[in-house]
């Protein structure tokens, strides 16, 4: 593998081919790869690293799918199954301070909740806490809500937007290739349907993210194929904000064996993503899954976003995630600064937050102090 060849390609503005991405993955020159990816990240975002004050709400873990890799879900009546009432959800939303920018809401596919539960939830939050941007529902949930509403995909998305949906996260993508999906989540919508839902969301004006669950049964080629599908959709719609590689957490799942990903694999994945997904504005180092220290190092391997304060993360922690369940805003900014980058607080859709200084009307839209 020649970094020189790939570097030349990048300098001349040529796109990396899937074969280039596989070669980068197979290389052991982790520092060479990091340098290339960091240079590309700096071209796109300077030394800025974004973060958001956010809170997670997972309204239920009862799910009709029961994907084999998912330690979060339960069947109804099973030990550990829970469902929040509307009051529970509103109470959690009410705990967000005035500076919280984003509510991240995803959960299981509940067998009994009607479509109106979801529109009432969005509407209830927006009417009580209009400052909160609601980023909610994976493409898998949107597909399920479409079945519940009976309205078809486009009208379902529009009904959710009318009720208060502001953007969508990127979950449920796992690995988009059907061969891998059959092994880890045969009940889940196909990769093609995931793409179809995202296309419809983008066309309806929603920004979304895109994830990739890696480190289970997939091959490097499956990862690159996954990223290629995302790159193609992004060429078409421009609707993705961030790509978020999610390291597989093996504990408490129904998959045989499996181990945690290595730091080498995590960093290579961030770097290859930064170089291959040339049309994605942001690559996220999700500290909840990577662990705080690897996420910090990932900021020198092409990542320019660290997600946020999170608060009450359940999904990764039920799979044995050992990172904290929340992070103070100051700790997050400090972590970024100590990596030699400039922390920038953003809102849910990556606009820098304008922070009013107490003594003047001037605003600081860039550096977090």
Nearest distance in Å: CB 60, ligand SF4:
9
215 versus 343: smaller Cβ distance to ligand SF4: 215
Counting contacts by CB under 6 A, is residue 63 touching ligand SF4? yes
Would you call 105 helix, strand, or coil by DSSP? strand
The only residue of 25, 50, 51, 72 in contact with ligand SF4, by rule CB under 6 A: 72
Counting contacts by CB under 6 A, is residue 184 touching ligand SF4? no
Largest CA distance in the chain: 59
Q: Counting beta carbons within 10 angstroms of the beta carbon of residue 151, is it exposed (0 to 12), middle (13 to 18) or buried (19 or more)?
A: middle
Part of the chain binding ligand SF4 (CB under 6 A), chosen from 66-74, 92-100, 193-201, 229-237? 66-74
72 versus 287: smaller Cβ distance to ligand SF4: 72
Helices (H) and strands (E) in the chain, counts: 14, 12
In our burial notation (b when 16+ CB lie closer than 10 A, e otherwise), range 184-214 reads bbeebbebebbbbbbbbbbebebbbbbbbbb
Nearest distance in Å: CB 360, ligand SF4:
47
Residue (of 142, 244, 122, 115) closest to 200 by Cα position: 142
Relative to beta strand 363-364, strand 355-356 is antiparallel
Counting contacts by CB under 6 A, is residue 73 touching ligand SF4? yes
Part of the chain binding ligand SF4 (CB under 6 A), chosen from 63-71, 83-91, 126-134, 175-183? 63-71
Count CB-CB contacts under 10 A for residue 145. Answer: 22
The only residue of 57, 105, 140, 353 in contact with ligand SF4, by rule CB under 6 A: 140
Counting contacts by CB under 6 A, is residue 66 touching ligand SF4? yes
Counting contacts by CB under 6 A, is residue 176 touching ligand SF4? no
Radius of gyration of the chain (CA): 20
Nearest distance in Å: CB 340, ligand SF4:
36
d(CA 302, CA 273): 8
Nearest distance in Å: CB 66, ligand SF4:
5
d(CA 101, CA 121): 18
Torsion of CA 207, 213, 218, 224, to 10 degrees: 40
The only residue of 104, 126, 135, 188 in contact with ligand SF4, by rule CB under 6 A: 188
Relative to beta strand 48-52, strand 102-105 is unpaired
The only residue of 37, 89, 105, 109 in contact with ligand SF4, by rule CB under 6 A: 109
Counting contacts by CB under 6 A, is residue 180 touching ligand SF4? no
Nearest distance in Å: CB 185, ligand SF4:
6
36 versus 109: smaller Cβ distance to ligand SF4: 109
d(CA 26, CA 66): 33
Part of the chain binding ligand SF4 (CB under 6 A), chosen from 32-40, 65-73, 281-289, 338-346? 65-73
Counting contacts by CB under 6 A, is residue 67 touching ligand SF4? yes
211 versus 309: smaller Cβ distance to ligand SF4: 211
Residue numbers of the site for ligand SF4 (CB under 6 A)?
Answer: 63, 65-67, 70, 72-73, 108-109, 140, 185, 188
């Amino acid at each position: 593998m020649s970094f020189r060849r790939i570097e030349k390609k990048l300098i001349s503005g040529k796109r990396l081919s899937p074969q280039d991405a596989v070669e980068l993955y197979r290389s052991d020159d982790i520092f060479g790869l990091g340098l290339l990816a960091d240079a590309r990240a700096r071209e796109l975002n300077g030394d800025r690293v974004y973060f958001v004050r956010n809170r997670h709400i997972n309204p239920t873990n009862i799910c009709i799918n029961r994907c084999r890799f998912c330690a979060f879900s339960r069947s109804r009546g099973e030990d550990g199954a829970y469902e929040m009432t509307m009051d529970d959800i509103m109470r959690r939303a009410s705990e967000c301070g005035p500076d919280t920018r984003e509510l991240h809401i995803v959960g299981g596919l509940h067998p009994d909740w009607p479509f109106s539960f979801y529109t009432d939830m969005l509407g209830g939050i927006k009417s009580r806490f209009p400052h909160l941007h609601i980023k909610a529902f994976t493409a898998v949930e949107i597909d399920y809500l479409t079945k519940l509403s009976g309205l078809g995909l486009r009208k379902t998305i529009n009904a959710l937007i009318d009720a208060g949906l502001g953007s969508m996260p990127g979950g449920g993508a796992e690995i988009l290739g059907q061969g891998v999906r059959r092994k880890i989540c045969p009940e889940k919508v196909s990769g093609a349907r995931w793409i179809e839902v995202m296309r419809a969301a983008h066309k309806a004006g929603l920004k979304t993210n895109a994830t990739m669950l890696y480190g289970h049964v997939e091959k490097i080629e499956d990862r690159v194929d996954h990223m290629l599908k995302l790159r193609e959709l992004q060429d078409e719609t421009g609707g993705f904000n961030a790509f978020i590689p999610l390291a597989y957490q093996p504990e408490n799942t129904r998959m045989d064996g499996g181990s945690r990903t290595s730091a080498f694999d995590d960093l290579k994945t961030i770097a290859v993503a930064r170089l291959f997904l040339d049309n994605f504005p942001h690559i996220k180092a999700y500290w909840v899954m990577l662990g705080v220290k690897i996420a910090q190092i990932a900021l020198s391997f092409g990542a320019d976003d660290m997600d946020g304060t999170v608060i009450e993360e359940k999904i990764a922690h039920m799979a044995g995630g050992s990172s904290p369940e929340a992070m103070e805003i100051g700790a997050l900014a400090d972590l970024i600064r100590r990596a030699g980058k400039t922390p920038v607080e953003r809102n849910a859709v990556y606009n820098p937050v304008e922070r009013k200084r107490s003594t003047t009307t001037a605003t600081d839209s860039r550096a977090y102090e």
